[in-house]
Amino acid sequence: MQQGYLETTKNVYKEAAENPQVGLCCTTTPVWQFPGLSISKKMLEMNYGCGSTVHPRDLVNNPKILYVGVGGGMELLQFSYFSRQMGGVTGVDVVDEMLQACKENFIEAEKQNPWFRSGFVKLVKGDALRLPIEDNSIDVAAQNCLFNIFKHDDLKKALQEMYRVLKPRGRLVLSDPICEQEIPENLREDERLRALCLSGSLSLKEYIKMITDVGFGTVEIRAKRPYRILDPVNYDTDELIYIESVEVCAIKDPMPVDGPCVFTGKTAIYYGTEDCFDDEKGHVLLPNQPLAICDKTAGALKALNRNDIFISNSTYFYDGGGCC
């Protein structure tokens, strides 16, 4: 017997499939537009995500793509834009009505996008907690605004499932709300608020820990943005609660012996008088050339207490390259 909140979640998204609700649970972050890509009004109205999981640089070398929690299919269409092959993208969802709405949106997408075929996406009924997907078979596994709904043990299972299906070096790309304040228990236990992606969020640190605890050796924080306010007038809370959303990429790299590499957008800049600074652990800093560093390297460089290395704060905007 499934827990009540998972049933409530299914009902919320059954409703959202049958009656598209603009801004139902999520923000209106700008939608990726690409040359020759047209997204129908209904698909836009059914954008129930809180960021983007489609990053062209993840999509080189013809990856096998999995997308869990399909919504109206907008990100499946965007992934197909890059993949353009029959069955190149698999979409999994537990709600029949959502799968049906997505299928219908693809028929419209075929009319608006001469390059697109519905067959580019294989839609499969299944649960994020028991993915109907083979081990080590996926290069890019994405989810947008679903995992924050899950309670601790279910979130752990969902992350383990993504880890299981990814090939070595494969990428989990996700977008989810986070919250640095303690969300009161009454809101956390409110099944509908949780299903609406409003009260299940963890802090970024807790979320990263859950991701690395299942084995992902590298984590990139690609974006962090304001998301929602839960205010005392509209919600049962005494204080204002500020929720943000993040875009994260977790790579199924082997776990380094000294722990995961987490890139939160820190940068080191050497401004000394030598030709370069070499910590002899694989990090070479050239004068006045910024090097993206993971938080572990930032800590190690800081501990040297040098007065010729600057280490920036986390920008939560990491877009590749760097130390590890």
Ligand X SMILES: C[S@@+](CC[C@H](N)C(=O)[O-])C[C@H]1O[C@@H](n2cnc3c(N)ncnc32)[C@H](O)[C@@H]1O
Whether 261 and 198 have beta carbons less than 8 Å apart is answered as no
- Alpha carbons within 13 angstroms on the beta-carbon side of residue 201 total 30
- Which member of 68, 214, 230, 261 binds ligand X (CB under 6 A)? 68
- In the window 102-131, what residues touch ligand X (CB under 6 A)? 127-129
- Which member of 5, 13, 79, 227 binds ligand X (CB under 6 A)? 13
Please, which residue, 28 or 62, has the CB nearer to ligand X? 28
Question: Given the rule CB under 6 A, which of 138-146, 164-172, 212-220, 247-255 is the region that contacts ligand X?
Answer: 138-146
Binding flag, residue 93, ligand X (CB under 6 A): yes
Q: Residue 47 is encoded by which pair of tokens?
A: 């954008």
As measured in angstroms, the least distance from the Cβ of 69 to ligand X is 3
Amino acid sitting at position 263: F
In three-state form (DSSP H/G/I as H, E/B as E, the rest C), the secondary structure along 111-137 is: HHCCCCCHHHEEEEECECCECCCCCCC
281/301 Cα distance (integer angstroms) = 11
Binding flag, residue 263, ligand X (CB under 6 A): no
Please, which residue, 13 or 207, has the CB nearer to ligand X? 13
As measured in angstroms, the least distance from the Cβ of 88 to ligand X is 18
- In the window 22-51, what residues touch ligand X (CB under 6 A)? 25, 47-49
As measured in angstroms, the least distance from the Cβ of 93 to ligand X is 5
Question: Given the rule CB under 6 A, which of 28-36, 68-76, 186-194, 271-279 is the region that contacts ligand X?
Answer: 68-76
Question: Given the rule CB under 6 A, which of 86-94, 132-140, 254-262, 304-312 is the region that contacts ligand X?
Answer: 86-94
204-213 and 152-165 helices cross at what angle (nearest 10)? 50
285/299 Cα distance (integer angstroms) = 15
As measured in angstroms, the least distance from the Cβ of 30 to ligand X is 14
1/267 Cα distance (integer angstroms) = 49
As measured in angstroms, the least distance from the Cβ of 236 to ligand X is 22
Q: Residue 164 is encoded by which pair of tokens?
A: 């299981």
As measured in angstroms, the least distance from the Cβ of 289 to ligand X is 37
DSSP string, 200-259: -PPPHHHHHHHHHHTT--EEEEEEEEEEEEE-TTTSS-SS-EEEEEEEEEEE-PPPPTT-
Interface residues with ligand X (CB under 6 A) are 9, 13, 25, 47-49, 68-71, 75, 92-95, 98, 127-129, 144-146, 197
